[in-house]
Structure 1
Amino acid sequence: MDKDLISNDGANLDFAQLLAALSATATTRRRLLQAGLGSAALSFFGLPAMAAPTGRPGIGFTAISISSDDIVRVPDGYSVQLLYAWGDPISDGPAFRADAGNSASEQAEQAGMHHDGMHFFPWVEDGKPSSTHGLLCINHEYTDDGLLHPDGMADWSHEKTRKSQNAHGVSVIEVELKESGSEFRWQLVRPSRYARRISARTPTRIAGPAAGAPGMRTGDDRRGNVVFGTLANCAMGHTPWGTYLSCEENFDGYFNGLVEPTADQKRYGIRANGAGFRWHEYDRRFDVASEPNEANRFGWVVEIDPWKPAQAPVKRTALGRFKHECATLTLASDGRVVVYMSDDQAFEYLYKFVSSDRFDAGDPASGGRLLDVGTLYVARFDADGKGRWIALQHGQNGLDVGNGFADQAEILIRTRQAADLLGATKMDRPEWLAVDPQSGEVYCTLTNNRKRLTADAANPRAENAFGHIIRWREEQADAAAGAFDWDVFVLCGDPENPDPAKRGNIKGDAFASPDGLWFDRAGRLWIQTDVSGSVANRGDYQRLGNNQMLVADVASGEIRRFLTGPKACEITGISATPDARSLFINVQHPGEAAGGRSSPSAPLAGSGWPAKQFAGVTGGRPRSATLVIRRADGGVVGT
């Protein structure tokens, strides 16, 4: 997928310009101290560090070194177990074939490709959540069709299209910790009545203000309220009523656009010859000339109830349409639901949704409806270190018929264009968001932006190739507030780079291109990286090794490396059991070729993982997989 594609060429201010102004503002020191933001931020602005807050446990493991090995490495005293790899049956289905010879119908009963966001839903027994039994929801973002079929994309066919579509979407699997010999190991429960695959072919309901709107109607669905499938499922969120939020990201690459695309299509990156997956050749839904509105039915947050396998997924249109990276949910001080979201493309925006009604823990079945009625906002970061949320609401802030928005449904279908009009701040590829369980501060990874070619005070490098992490605190510590204070938590880079502008300000172990982000229950911040295969272990990245996972102490600013992945992979997806003694993470696309598609004649050219590391695993080609990390003594991971 082309992560460097630019669809936003508007004149809105970008984050770099604002950061430069903030760095020079005389009031910055006073505001940061009043807000209680951490020492890493203060040192970035050249300000004296304040005393670290108390009440947080520190980082309790010895950091590991950078690695370019084709294995997963963790600190001494920890174990790594392979749990669920591409092609594994979700229940009592067909086994994986090393030659990629599984049929499309078999793939529909197996793990999809390219594991990404994930969440563990514990079994509840006698009112207590279990740490040994539960359901895992796992996204499958996209496919490498060079590995998915024995001969790759040669002789493309209807069967190959169906298999590729069935390798997308979401897995729901039942897992349990069982004693195995002298140790405890996680395993899939087979058969399981909860296990299912949701793919690009699964009937999915459309709900919220855009359901039934003219722009959502197609020849196959004249009512505009049902779509087949979900795709490009990247990161995620989860709700207090026990459901999973899967986010559709780079949907544009599935659609064959017009030679002369409309302005709206261009704004979302849909262009002629842009459908690299070739689905449009056998599924006319993905040919814009045949179905001009089908693309409007992707780019949403999809709600899935893992406990109700017969229930259709639901696309929640009130949360807006863009290239969703994640949907991180929290509750406002009055009980309203707040969802923080990011649009993962260079120069795109940050959003949040605030429900109109409050969550009632006594009536969890009503939870999903909270995501259909509320207000969507987009973020503007001001140069004085403050920011505000601007409502994307019809009739407000110029979002009316005169400016091309007939109603709220049109604002939600064309969310990017509405945000452009409101002057939202252009960011450097916003990715995962995480809410600090103690302070309520929100952290966001800005992976990189290689299209930023002009150096300035905030980005003194020609290109923001390394990325950074920002954070903000909502006014009155209320997630539903309309204003916030913001700063930079860390500027990534290589401290050994001979160019001072490329060293960053990391207090601890070097890393770059931050992506996955998650707080554990104790308040430690886990950071996962996604360095592109085209630059990993070369050039400015030559000393940073394979992609990795680190842990940050947000009080002191210290960051330590916990895990390194195999060659050419992305480390992504993270969740834990309630007792924090089992940590689930995903390894995506080990061995991925620089162009994103492997050669079918040399499937092991980039990596031999996981078969190279784990005995008894079917090899033949690299496979994305879910891992479980535990301490050898059974203690809490990270301590």
Structure 2
Amino acid sequence: MPQKSSSSPDFQSVLAVRLSRRNALKGLGLSSATMMLGACSIKTSSVVTSASAVSKAQGSLTFTELEHGLDAYLSVSPGYQTQVLVSWGDALFPNTPAFDPDQQTEQRQLKQFGYNNDFIGFVSLPLGSQASDRGLLVVNHEYCSSEMMFPGSPSELALDKQQTDVNIAAHGLSVVEIARQADGQWQLVLNSPYNRRITPHTPMQMTGPAAGSSRLFTRYSTDGVQTLGTYGNCAGGVTPWGTILTGEENVDTFFGGDFSASNEGDNYRRFGMVSDFRTSWGLHHERWDMRQNPAEPLHVGWVVEIDPFDPHSVPKKRTALGRFKHEGANVFVNADNSVVAYSGDDQQFEYLYRFISKGRYQPDNRQANLHLLDEGTLYCARFNDDGSMQWLPLVFGHGPLTAENGFHSQADVQLDCRKAADLLGATPMDRPEDVDVNPVTGQVYVMLTNNSNRQTAQVDGPNPRAKNLTGQVLELTPPGGDHCAGTFSWELMIVAGKKGQSGSQYHPDITDNGWLACPDNCAFDNLGNLWIATDGAEVLGVADGIWATEVSGPNRALTKRFLRTPEGAELCGPFFTPDSQNLFCSIQHPGGGSSFDNPKTRWPDFRDDLPPRPSVVVVTKQGGGRIGS
């Protein structure tokens, strides 16, 4: 794993000066990032794009803060309500058998909502509208917790063939139409022609620079183009042309088998693959046994683009965005109509990436936009302690990316992104997870979850703590709002951890309930407020959940707790409807760390005959209105 030492002998002094300057600007109602933004041309699907939107956002988060806690229930700020919209095992199609944990089969699971829901995307119906009462819900199913799925709480390696096939079928994505009823409740539309399950067996295609590479030839792909399925899907993104991007992240755990003789040994070891099987997939299916199918791991670790409006479409693995542990991919249309996609590589000491399309977004030509992510330039990020950062292009034949270092084509660069970024001198980060663009200000926010292995000598600008257990939120500002610029500025907006903990950094008026730990996913409402979801707060004795903060003005970095997950769960995939009156949230692995037979919680059903079930909930304000007010 690459380890970067600080370029400054006294970085904590540098950090103190920068944070002191930021707080002084905050008192003026500005951040240095806001001052540098200038006239930003923002082109997104957000309903708020005017220059006055930032001023309107001041003091906009007036909800009553929820107290910290840790219990079996889902809790939300007073004056708000939650509805469980869909849970693992719920029917997605007419005439699907009711969920029965004692009668699980692959055939049933293929018609039911999958397990451990993560990213949520909502795209309005009809296509191109800004409707907030009807749309398609697209949800990732990242992984399974078999000890919570099956009676007897079997380990991952103890699953028989039938249980393994249920496990596989519970991965991937679910697409389902939803509509809000007259009483304000949301409902699945089971007879919708859009409803679909996408699984590890779904036919797909590789596109872009790596497609057709001989390194991708397998028993199941004799041309390096045709491929099968997606899994390990963590965060994602929604494109302006209405497609869904899903990031394949911790795919290493699905494989086993000795690969010591493989030419891909260094690549696989860097990805975390080991010869021991950690799931039953490779025990029952040779596809995931690297002894029998050694190139299969190269078919995952990509961003997959899915058209939810065409249930017969073949999902595309966009290799132009590189192969690594994608937390997600969020798209921004620059002022020149270039499409920019940001993605983090969610592993300790890995990197932050940006992709810029060669083609231009055409608002009136959706068909042309469907190919924008196939050609362009991928960049990795290098940060400097003076608050600047550079985007370094990963282009074959440029700099060290040559045959002398093992690169023989652009396909090799895409397949070995991590190695290429090493050679270019990118900055190793504290697990970059969600990376998203504020639709109002145009600034980029990076959730850095934690890094317990960072040593004192490795501390640097955006990663200011050794043995970092609680993470930070990084703010990036493109000059003049140009997301294609080669140099941005950066600023630490939040350094997470308990209030008053050494090294933590928030607004000075934060309450005892406002501190957070391990930022993971994020979302923005239509005023540009930042909503932060966490994964890891339980290590500090409180539940994970959602916190919200304004990004500029006197309340910048004044985080407030809004929602609390049941014990053992994390909060994933927060996503607003266009009017910001509905907030969808994934409650993943409730009761995690316990078992099917003796769970910590039986949320959301609280029935003795049902285990806890990962679910998507929708949060609304009692009586209606914007979330957060």
TM-score by length of 1: 0.88
Summarize the alignment of residues 209-228 of structure 1 with structure 2, pairs less than 5 Å apart: 209-228=209-228
CA distance in 2, matches of 1:406, 1:381: 28
Tell me if the contact between 1:98 and 1:621 (Cα under 8 Å) persists in the aligned partners: no
Report the counterpart of residue 549 of structure 1 in structure 2. Answer: 546
Tell me if the contact between 1:475 and 1:481 (Cα under 8 Å) persists in the aligned partners: yes
Report the counterpart of residue 5 of structure 1 in structure 2. Answer: none
| Poorly superposed stretches of 4+, deviation over 4 Å | 13-22, 24-34, 36-42, 455-462, 501-507
CA distance in 2, matches of 1:217, 1:384: 45
Out of 58, 62, 65, the position equivalent to 1:63 is: 65
Summarize the alignment of residues 101-140 of structure 1 with structure 2, pairs less than 5 Å apart: 101-124=103-126, 128-140=129-141
Change (3 A) 1:236 1:259: closer
CA distance in 2, matches of 1:512, 1:481: 32
Counterpart amino acid of residue 525 in structure 1: L
CA distance in 2, matches of 1:88, 1:30: 48
Summarize the alignment of residues 145-544 of structure 1 with structure 2, pairs less than 5 Å apart: 145-151=146-152, 152-153=154-155, 156-179=159-182, 183-258=183-258, 260=260, 262-273=265-276, 275-454=277-456, 462-495=466-499, 497=501, 500-501=502-503, 507-508=509-510, 509-531=514-536, 536=538, 541-542=540-541
Tell me if the contact between 2:25 and 2:32 (Cα under 8 Å) persists in the aligned partners: no
Q: Which moved more, 1:448-457 or 1:207-216?
A: 448-457
Q: Which moved more, 1:339-348 or 1:89-98?
A: 89-98
Tell me if the contact between 1:569 and 1:591 (Cα under 8 Å) persists in the aligned partners: yes
Shift, 1:79, TM fit: 1.1
CA distance in 2, matches of 1:80, 1:588: 16
Change (3 A) 1:30 1:565: closer
TM-score by length of 2: 0.89
Shift, 1:206, TM fit: 1.0
CA distance in 1, matches of 2:7, 2:615: 35
Report the counterpart of residue 45 of structure 1 in structure 2. Answer: none
CA distance in 1, matches of 2:10, 2:136: 43
Instruction: Determine helix, strand or coil for the equivalent of 1:146.
Output: helix
Q: Which moved more, 1:22-31 or 1:238-247?
A: 22-31
Report the counterpart of residue 40 of structure 2 in structure 1. Answer: none
Tell me if the contact between 1:28 and 1:384 (Cα under 8 Å) persists in the aligned partners: no
Out of 593, 617, 624, the position equivalent to 1:627 is: 617
CA distance in 2, matches of 1:631, 1:18: 48
> Any idea what the Cα deviations from partners look like across 1:355-394, whole Å, max 9, x if unmatched?
0011011111111211000000000001221010000010
Unaligned runs of 5+ in 1: 1-7, 43-51
Instruction: Determine helix, strand or coil for the equivalent of 2:372.
Output: helix
> Any idea what the Cα deviations from partners look like across 1:429-487, whole Å, max 9, x if unmatched?
00111212222110111011111243868777651011110111112320111110001
Tell me if the contact between 1:507 and 1:559 (Cα under 8 Å) persists in the aligned partners: no
CA distance in 2, matches of 1:605, 1:61: 32
Tell me if the contact between 1:22 and 1:28 (Cα under 8 Å) persists in the aligned partners: no
Change (3 A) 1:201 1:467: same
Shift, 1:149, TM fit: 2.7
Q: CA RMSD in A?
A: 2.7
> Any idea what the Cα deviations from partners look like across 1:117-151, whole Å, max 9, x if unmatched?
111111128x7432211100000000011132334
Work out whether 1:571 is the aligned partner of 2:574. Answer: no
Counterpart amino acid of residue 161 in structure 1: T
CA distance in 1, matches of 2:355, 2:608: 44
CA distance in 2, matches of 1:620, 1:565: 19
Q: Which moved more, 1:305-314 or 1:151-160?
A: 151-160
Change (3 A) 1:218 1:335: same
Shift, 1:164, TM fit: 1.0
The total of aligned residue pairs comes to 596
CA distance in 1, matches of 2:587, 2:599: 17
Work out whether 1:637 is the aligned partner of 2:595. Answer: no
> Any idea what the Cα deviations from partners look like across 1:9-44, whole Å, max 9, x if unmatched?
x2444799896474277999599979x9955999xx
Change (3 A) 1:606 1:425: same
Work out whether 1:23 is the aligned partner of 2:15. Answer: yes
Tell me if the contact between 1:93 and 1:110 (Cα under 8 Å) persists in the aligned partners: no
Counterpart amino acid of residue 162 in structure 2: E
Counterpart amino acid of residue 522 in structure 1: L
Instruction: Determine helix, strand or coil for the equivalent of 2:269.
Output: helix
